[in-house]
A and B are shown apart, each in its own frame.
Chain A
Amino acid sequence: MTTFEAILFTIVAASTPLLIAAIGELVAERAGVLNLGVEGMMSMGAVCAFAAAFTFDSTLAGILLGMTAGGLMAALFALAVLGFAANQVGAGLALTIFGLGLSGLIGAPFVGQTRPRVEEWPIPILSEIPLVGHALFSQDPLVYVAFGLVAGVAFFLARTRTGLRLRSIGENHVSAHALGLPVLKMRVYAVIFGGLCAGLAGAYLSLVYTRFWSPNMTAGRGWIAVALVVFAAWRPMWALVGALVFGTATVLQLHAQAAQVPLPSQLLAAAPYIATILALVLLSIRRGRAVGAPGSLGTPFVPDR
Chain B
Amino acid sequence: MADVAPASPAASVPTADGTPALVSLRGVSKRYGDLLANDGVDLALAPGEIHALLGENGAGKSTLVKILYGVIEPTAGEILWEGRPVSIPSPVAARGLGIGMVFQHFSLFEEMTVAENVAVALPERAFDAVRTELAEISRGWGLALEPDRAVWTLSAGERQRIEIVRCLMQKPRLIVLDEPTSVLTPQESERLFETLTRLSEAGTAILYISHKLEEVRRLCRAATILRGGKVVATLDPRASSAREIAALMVGSEVGEVRAHLSKGTGEEVLRVEGLSLPPEALHGKPLVDVALSVRAGEVVGIAGVAGNGQSELFAALSGERLASYAGDVVVAGTGAGRLGIDARRRLGAAFVPEERLGHAAAPSHGLSDNTVLSHHATSGLVKAGFVAFAEAARIARSVVGHFDVRTPSDDPAARKLSGGNLQKFVVGREILRGPKLLVVDQPTWGVDAGAARLIRQALVDLAAKGAAVLVISQDLDELFEIADRMAVISDGRLSPLRPASAWTREAIGLEMIGAHDEAGAALAREPA
A272 to B480 Cα, complex, angstroms: 63
Partner of B116, one of A164, A291, A295: A164
Q: Are A171 and B107 in contact (CB under 8 A)?
A: no
Partner of A304, one of B72, B110, B124: B72
Q: Are A291 and B119 in contact (CB under 8 A)?
A: no
Size bracket, chain A contacts: 20 to 34
Instruction: Check B70 for interface membership: any CB of A closer than 8 A.
Output: yes
Considering the complex, give the chain B residue whose CB is closest to the CB of A290. Answer: B282
Given the interface pairs A172-B110, A289-B282, the reply to whether A178 lies near B120 with Cβ below 8 Å is: no
Considering the complex, give the chain A residue whose CB is closest to the CB of B101. Answer: A178
A56 to B95 Cα, complex, angstroms: 53
Q: Are B111 and A178 in contact (CB under 8 A)?
A: no
A167 to B110 Cα, complex, angstroms: 11
Instruction: Check B445 for interface membership: any CB of A closer than 8 A.
Output: no
Across chains A and B, the number of contacting residue pairs, with CB separation under 8 Å, is 63
Instruction: Check B141 for interface membership: any CB of A closer than 8 A.
Output: no
Q: Are B119 and A164 in contact (CB under 8 A)?
A: yes
Partner of B90, one of A167, A180, A288, A304: A180
Partner of B71, one of A165, A168, A178, A288: A178
Residues facing A in B6-42 (CB within 8 A) are none
Query: Which of B90, B106, B109 gathers most chain A CB within 10 Å?
Result: B109
Considering the complex, give the chain B residue whose CB is closest to the CB of A167. Answer: B112
A161 to B130 Cα, complex, angstroms: 12
A179 proximity list for chain B (CB < 8 A):
91, 107, 120-121
Chain A 285-305, CB-CB to B under 8 Å as 1, else 0, gives 000110110010000000011
Q: Are B107 and A178 in contact (CB under 8 A)?
A: yes
Residues facing A in B77-120 (CB within 8 A) are 90-92, 94-95, 101, 103, 106-112, 116-117, 119-120
Q: Are B282 and A178 in contact (CB under 8 A)?
A: no
Given the interface pairs A172-B109, A289-B282, the reply to whether A180 lies near B91 with Cβ below 8 Å is: yes
Residues facing B in A8-49 (CB within 8 A) are none
A164 to B117 Cα, complex, angstroms: 9
Instruction: Check A237 for interface membership: any CB of B closer than 8 A.
Output: no
Residues facing B in A149-166 (CB within 8 A) are 159, 161, 164-165
Q: Are A180 and B92 in contact (CB under 8 A)?
A: yes
A180 proximity list for chain B (CB < 8 A):
70-71, 90-92, 94-95, 121
A174 to B116 Cα, complex, angstroms: 17
Given the interface pairs A161-B124, A304-B72, A305-B72, the reply to whether A171 lies near B282 with Cβ below 8 Å is: no
Instruction: Check A181 for interface membership: any CB of B closer than 8 A.
Output: yes
A292 to B111 Cα, complex, angstroms: 8
B72 proximity list for chain A (CB < 8 A):
304-305
A292 to B127 Cα, complex, angstroms: 23
Instruction: Check A175 for interface membership: any CB of B closer than 8 A.
Output: yes
Size bracket, chain B contacts: 20 to 34
Instruction: Check B73 for interface membership: any CB of A closer than 8 A.
Output: yes
A180 to B94 Cα, complex, angstroms: 9
Query: Which of A178, A289, A292 gathers most chain B CB within 10 Å?
Result: A178
B106 proximity list for chain A (CB < 8 A):
175
A231 to B413 Cα, complex, angstroms: 41
Q: Are B107 and A174 in contact (CB under 8 A)?
A: yes
A171 to B108 Cα, complex, angstroms: 9
A161 to B103 Cα, complex, angstroms: 23
A191 to B316 Cα, complex, angstroms: 42
A154 to chain B, nearest CB (A): 16
Given the interface pairs A164-B116, A164-B120, the reply to whether A171 lies near B110 with Cβ below 8 Å is: yes
Q: Are B110 and A181 in contact (CB under 8 A)?
A: no
Q: Are A171 and B95 in contact (CB under 8 A)?
A: no
B119 proximity list for chain A (CB < 8 A):
161, 164
Q: Are A295 and B110 in contact (CB under 8 A)?
A: yes
B107 proximity list for chain A (CB < 8 A):
172, 174-176, 178-179
Chain B 408-442, CB-CB to A under 8 Å as 1, else 0, gives 00000000000000000000000000000000000
Q: Are A295 and B111 in contact (CB under 8 A)?
A: yes
Give B contacts to A, CB under 8 Å. 69-73, 90-92, 94-95, 101, 103, 106-112, 116-117, 119-121, 124, 127, 282
Give A contacts to B, CB under 8 Å. 159, 161, 164-165, 167-168, 171-172, 174-181, 288-289, 291-292, 295, 304-305
Q: 7 closest A-B pairs (Cβ-Cβ)?
A: A180-B91, A175-B107, A171-B109, A180-B92, A178-B107, A179-B121, A168-B120
Extra pairs beyond A168-B109, A171-B111 (12, CB < 8 Å): A161-B124, A167-B109, A172-B108, A172-B109, A175-B109, A176-B107, A176-B120, A180-B71, A180-B90, A180-B94, A288-B282, A291-B282
